[in-house]
Amino acid sequence: MIQNASVNNYGSINKIATTNNGRVVYEVKDSTGATAGRISVAQPQCDIFEHSYNDMMEAAPAMQNFAEKSVTPEWQEKSRKINKWSKLTGASLALIASALLTRSFGKYFWKAVVCLPCTLAGYLGGAAAGIKLTTPKEAVKFSKAIQNISKLDVQPYND
């Protein structure tokens, strides 16, 4: 359980109390140490909240660097080219491979039936590879943590 989670200079949460109705109260502090507010989380969801919060704070520095880097025109152009070439490469390799595998097929129709879906699959695989190449690995961890927290019963706490 979190007593004082200060992972980095993005802020922290401190578990400060438990209410009579079974909610745990956390004090949220900003990067300067000033109190930013208080939230309450249902008792059964505390472990999920704390784990997700820690994951989010671990990924925050990489996500901030990515956000700062990705707004530059040079990086955007590089990313666009990487994504374009990975899609083209995936589709081309899949088309060539499926064409080589279907060369013994007698009719053109059956070759097309096999080659077109393979080319589409290669294109989608290339798109996935392009995303993987241009997005930091921490983005998945960060997104998952935010999704987990958004599903929880987290409410502002007022004394």
Cα–Cα dist 123/112, whole Å: 16
What sign does the dihedral 20-34-1-149 (CA atoms) show? positive
Q: Which of 123, 95, 124 is nearest to 111 (CA)?
A: 95
Q: For residues 62 and 142, what is the distance between their CA atoms, to the nearest angstrom?
A: 10
Residues in the chain: 159
Model pLDDT, residue 37: 86
Other CB atoms within 10 A of residue 22 CB = 10
Q: Does the reported pTM lie above 0.85?
A: no
> What gap in Å lies between CA 122 and CA 154, rounded to an integer?
42
Q: Is there a contact between 146 and 51 (Cβ–Cβ < 8 Å)?
A: no
What is the structure's pLDDT at 124? 95
Distance CA 53, CA 148 (A): 9
Where the chain has pLDDT below 50, the residues are 1-7
pLDDT of residue 9: 61
Question: For residue 38, which of 47, 28, 24 has the smallest C-alpha distance?
Answer: 28
What per-residue confidence (pLDDT) applies to 1?
Answer: 44
